[in-house]
Amino acid sequence: MIGFLAATASVLAAYNCQLQAPKAVGFEGGQAKASDIGLPPASLQFSLTIESGNPMQAKVDWPGDPLTMAGKFPTISTAPGGYAFSAFSRGPCLFTETSCLSQVNLVDSADGTAKLIVTPVALASDQNTGTRSPFAVIALGQCTRTDTKK
């Protein structure tokens, strides 16, 4: 009898996360200036699970999903308890016209929380001239561990 070994992913970490309002960052006179992008706080709550595997995977569950980040994405470890991944989709997108992309950087703390930075790809369009230019968007967040390895 031939036995089959099924590889199953195990949960390395699981979180409930809350982002602050994303900020559009611009530069004026050599100084950075940030302004809030108005999104309801309730729309900025999601869960994130890091799963083992080759490669590791980040699973984002986000009802409403204003940044279009829900899905499962290859993930790298940046340090013990640190993870980074790029979330991408076909849209519709909040900050781009055809496809969506956000870089996610999460770092675990010993107290059962994690800090999170999300940087979506963004462009501004001038409909009068038909031109587009990139701009920076940054969203800071806090997560709480929900798995048993707090």
* Residues with Cβ within 8 Å of residue 65, at least 6 apart in sequence: 46
**Bridge partners (DSSP) listed for residue 139:** 118
The number of residues making up the chain comes to 150
pLDDT of residue 22: 95
pLDDT of residue 2: 47
Nearest in space to 66 (alpha carbons), one of 97, 31, 41: 41
Under the banding of pLDDT at 50, 70 and 90, the label for residue 14 is very high
Q: What percent of the chain shows pLDDT beyond 70?
A: 93
CA–CA distance from 11 to each of 5, 16, 19, 32, 137 (Å)? 19, 14, 22, 39, 30
Under the banding of pLDDT at 50, 70 and 90, the label for residue 3 is very low
Give the model confidence (pLDDT) of 99-140 as tens digits: 999 999 999 999 999 999 999 999 888 889 999 988 899 999
pLDDT of residue 103: 98
